[in-house]
Amino acid sequence: MMRWLIGLLVAALLGLQWSLWFGEGSWRYVQELREAKRLQQIENEQLRSRNRALEAEVEDLRSGSEAVEERARRDLGMIREDEVFFLPVDPAPGTQPLADDRRED
């Protein structure tokens, strides 16, 4: 009779340990949730930083024409009537520049 009782208690203990180590609320599951939470917090902070930068840019665009002008110049290549626009172009690899300033003495 005592062996049955001990066997029953051991089986109950193993059943409880099984759910602790391998069940839905197990240690491994909790660790996976903590890692997912950590990664989500990192992503959220990156998105918050991007949102702050976008909010600052929107505020600049709303507050004055300088930011709008800068954006038009940068993104659309717009220039004023009294300006001259120079676009420096890097030569293609393997080609010689048009003006060779090297002098051999």
pLDDT (tens place) for every residue of the chain, 105 residues total: 888 989 999 998 888 888 777 777 788 888 999 999 999 999 999 999 999 999 998 888 888 777 777 777 777 777 777 777 777 788 778 777 666 555 555
| Gap between the Cα atoms of 74 and 7, Å rounded | 79
DSSP string, the chain: -HHHHHHHHHHHHHHHHHHHHHSTT-HHHHHHHHHHHHHHHHHHHHHHHHHHHHHHHHHHHHH-HHHHHHHIIIII----TT-------PPPTT---SS------
pTM of the model: 0.49
